[in-house]
Amino acid sequence: MEYLSYEFWGNHYKIPCFSYHTIVVGTGAAGYNAADELYRGGVRDIAILTEGIKMGTSRNTGSDKQTYYKLTLAGDAPDSVRGMAETLFACGSMHGDIALCEAAGSVRAFFKLISLGVPFPMNEVGEYVGYKTDHDPAMRATSCGPLTSRLMTEALEQSVAEKQIPVVDGCRVIRLLTDNGRAAGCASLCEDACGADNPAGLVFFLSENIVWAAGGPSAIYASTVYPESQSCAHGTLFWAGVRGASLTESQYGIASTKFRWNLSGTYQQVLPRYVSIDQNGTEFEFLSSFFENPSDLLTAIFLKGYEWPFDPRKIYKDGKRASSAIDLAVFAEMQKGRHVYLDFMHNPACADKNGMLDVSLLEEVPYTYLKNSGALLDTPIARLQKMNPKAIHLYASNGIDLSAEYLEIAVCAQHNNGGIAVDTNWETSLPGLYAVGEAAGTFGICRPGGTALNSTQVGSYRAAQNIIKTYRAQQKKREAASADAPKTGLFAVLGTKAQSKEKSYFRPMTEELYMQTETVMQLSAALLDAENGMSVQALHKERAGFAAEMSRCGAFLRKEDELRRLAAYRNMQLAGYHQVHRAKDFHALKELFINEDILLTQYVYIGAMLDYIGDGGMSRGSAVYMEKSADELLSETVPQKIDTGHAAFVEETVFDRNTGLVSSKFVPVRPIPNAELWFETVYNRCDTET
């Protein structure tokens, strides 16, 4: 560990600076797996940085039975790596080589989780049985219940802890550092580093590689199912000029708002009642006015279970309104100032027969599903208790009794299929920087449910393996330099007990790096103003306004004129952000940088949307592009026109901080490659001893 000394406005600053071979940012399923794999491969001089160990999507989100997607491992249904890759690739705007990597790595990743104790269900002979999820032609999905990703994260966390891989908690990364065109570390705010000579709590980390596992654009929307604890971090990468991919493609769907959770699967298949309540307390069972008959309405609600993401193709389909008309109807009610709820205590009025479900109204699909599940019972809560009691217990554990109260809902952002552009090693456009988990923009227009969890494991494994390969190739050089490496760790300074036991890497401070650290230090010092700075509360209020503006025009209904106005406003805000914002203390300073990150992320995402529209893009995936309201869309009795031409391209988007401009290009998708399959060839080029 070193200290960097600076003089600024007559004050002396002393900032800790630490050196690691690889830094992992994030403590979700992707971040922990990256660190675990690096250690297994012999890269021991690593550290994990996290804003909060208990924060993040992996640990805090799920659904009725959160899905993990992998190759079929049960029964006689034919499947193959190529077949799974073709399923992923067929969704459009996804590179074929990445699809093949996701498929090929799925079994290894899945069985590693099994070996760590993640309790995926198997039958009496040991087959890991599956079910069909959305956009899935096979039955590749599996689940541990509502908390699949949390169980994954906790198992990987335990594995990392057993290896004594150091984790620096309470550490917010605010800038990337680069050297000679490569990622070379990061600047962060760490509360434990605050002091008289470091009031901003700045800490610099130098490294050979960074694995970015900080999740998706979690705070850019107001209506969102991302956990409240997770704050956006994409802007840090965009500021460094890192390219994004498929930023326009997110998933939106119905979720609860008091406790943020997806309401897919059995929450819909039990046929709850949708109700809105106005300011006078009057209830409206609003869905019935949009469907021609009760059977169509019940089928649409049921299909919302595994057609959970809003989809323009499913507003009006086969001559009638379909499952995504429900999302529009919910949104339209909210636009009228009403609160919308799911009621699990009562059946929809159109299907209620003296407090019991009129099963004669059920079409074949919902009837067969409920019958086979033994759930042709009187009320939604009874059906849910029969099919998935864990789904009830989940809400009970968060203070919500589904058997006694309504559940408030909204149409919420849930997952970004796009993100940071990566190659087949999950390395970004900035060499030495890897993006894994939801941060990586590996998916395109849509994807089978559960593929995101598979991607956390496959992508982090491939990133780690590429780093390990380079590490081994340079081992002699590192060993020669190790005699001069520092032997103390960051953790004595930051007040934690853990210390790196195998410190062998040291990155020298170059002039280019020092100039960047000085710029960050001066900015942080200038933004602190105890007398006139903004409080944490004021910054949170500002953030809520940012999110509301994005939800209004940049979520699943996108209007070009409104997007252009917001883009111009965001550009102006970013240009003068540091001139008009100051922070009262360390905590406010951290929130100030988070707000800046959110603004920049919104600006880049809106830019990608506008570039897509400018290239002739139309409705697709989970977004409608047109100047119409939800009510107007619901009144239409023709299917939406869906964009198909752009499926053959991946939109890559970049922010230029020198000009303040966002620009995109449409890159042809790479086809699924014909990988080498001849055993002797693969065997002889493979290093079987490592």
Residue 508 has pLDDT above 70, yes or no: yes
Distance, CA of 62 to CA of 391 (rounded, Å): 10
- Is the alpha carbon torsion for 105, 110, 111, 116 positive or negative? positive
- CATH architecture label of 525-668: Up-down Bundle (1.20)
Q: Model confidence over 543-570: pLDDT tens digits?
A: 999 999 999 999 999 999 999 999 999 9
User: Are 203 and 188 within 8 A, CB to CB?
Assistant: yes
Distance, CA of 403 to CA of 343 (rounded, Å): 9
Residue 449 has pLDDT above 50, yes or no: yes
SS3 call for 618: coil
Q: How far is CA 639 from CA 319, 321, 332, in A?
A: 8, 9, 19
| Mean pLDDT along residues 646-664 | 97
Distance, CA of 5 to CA of 512 (rounded, Å): 16
User: Are 346 and 384 within 8 A, CB to CB?
Assistant: no
Distance, CA of 383 to CA of 269 (rounded, Å): 9
Residue 489 has pLDDT above 80, yes or no: no
User: Are 617 and 625 within 8 A, CB to CB?
Assistant: yes
Note if the pTM is more than 0.85: yes
* Angle, helices 29-40/451-473, rounded to nearest 10 degrees: 30
Distance, CA of 533 to CA of 525 (rounded, Å): 12
Hey, which residues does 131 pair with through a beta bridge? 141
* Residue 688 pLDDT: 54
Listed in sequence order, the residues at least 6 apart from 248 whose beta carbon sits closer than 8 Å to its beta carbon are 418, 605, 608, 609, 612, 617, 621, 623, 651
Structure-block tokens of residue 514? 């020092």
What band does 464 get if pLDDT is binned at 50, 70 and 90?
very high
Residue percentage of the chain with pLDDT more than 90? 88
DSSP code at position 189 = E
* Residue ranges of the chain that CATH labels 1.20.58.100: 525-668
Hey, which residues does 182 pair with through a beta bridge? 179
What band does 414 get if pLDDT is binned at 50, 70 and 90?
very high
Structure-block tokens of residue 55? 């924060």
583 sits in the region (left: phi over 0; alpha: psi -120 to 50; else beta) called beta
* Angle, helices 536-553/560-575, rounded to nearest 10 degrees: 150
| Mean pLDDT along residues 238-254 | 97
* Number of neighbouring beta carbons within 10 Å of residue 5: 11
Which ranges constitute the DSSP H helices of 528-627? 536-553, 560-575, 577-580, 586-614
* Number of neighbouring beta carbons within 10 Å of residue 399: 9
* Residue 686 pLDDT: 81
* Number of neighbouring beta carbons within 10 Å of residue 364: 8
Distance, CA of 414 to CA of 540 (rounded, Å): 21
SS3 call for 566: helix
Secondary structure element (H or E) that encloses residue 300, with its range: helix 294-303
Biggest CA–CA distance in the chain, Å, is: 82
Listed in sequence order, the residues at least 6 apart from 2 whose beta carbon sits closer than 8 Å to its beta carbon are 16, 17, 18, 19, 486, 509
Q: Model confidence over 358-385: pLDDT tens digits?
A: 999 999 999 999 999 999 999 999 999 9
Secondary structure element (H or E) that encloses residue 369, with its range: helix 364-372
Residue written as tokens 């198909």?
644
Q: How far is CA 18 from CA 480, 481, 506, in A?
A: 20, 16, 9
Q: Which of 441, 465, 445 is nearest to 98 (CA)?
A: 441
Secondary structure element (H or E) that encloses residue 527, with its range: helix 511-527
Q: What share of the chain is helix, strand, coil (3-state, %, to 5)?
A: 40, 20, 40
SS3 call for 252: strand
Distance, CA of 255 to CA of 296 (rounded, Å): 22
Angle at CA of residue 171, ends 167 and 177, nearest 5°: 100
Average pLDDT, the chain: 93
Q: Model confidence over 74-128: pLDDT tens digits?
A: 999 899 999 999 999 999 999 999 999 999 999 999 999 999 999 999 999 999 9
CA atoms within 13 A on the CB side of 140: 30
Residue count of the chain, please give it. 690
Strands (E), 36-153: 46-49, 67-69, 141-143
**From the DSSP assignment, how many helices (H) and strands (E) are in the chain?**
23, 26
SS3 call for 301: helix
| Mean pLDDT along residues 138-144 | 93
Residue written as tokens 């990392």?
160
User: 473-489 b/e with 16+ CB inside 10 Å = b?
Assistant: eeeeebeeeeeeeeeeb
User: Are 297 and 350 within 8 A, CB to CB?
Assistant: yes
* Residue 479 pLDDT: 65
Structure-block tokens of residue 606? 């809106």
603 or 229, greater pLDDT:
603
What band does 9 get if pLDDT is binned at 50, 70 and 90?
confident
User: Are 1 and 486 within 8 A, CB to CB?
Assistant: yes
* Residue 690 pLDDT: 44
- Is the alpha carbon torsion for 322, 327, 331, 333 positive or negative? positive
For 137, list phi and psi in degrees, rounded to 5: -80, -10
Residue 500 has pLDDT above 80, yes or no: no
Residue 493 has pLDDT above 80, yes or no: no
User: Are 212 and 219 within 8 A, CB to CB?
Assistant: no
* Residue 156 pLDDT: 98
Residue 304 has pLDDT above 60, yes or no: yes
User: Are 534 and 200 within 8 A, CB to CB?
Assistant: no
Q: Which of 290, 229, 287 is nearest to 260 (CA)?
A: 229
**Residue type at 679?**
F
What band does 685 get if pLDDT is binned at 50, 70 and 90?
confident
* Residue 494 pLDDT: 45
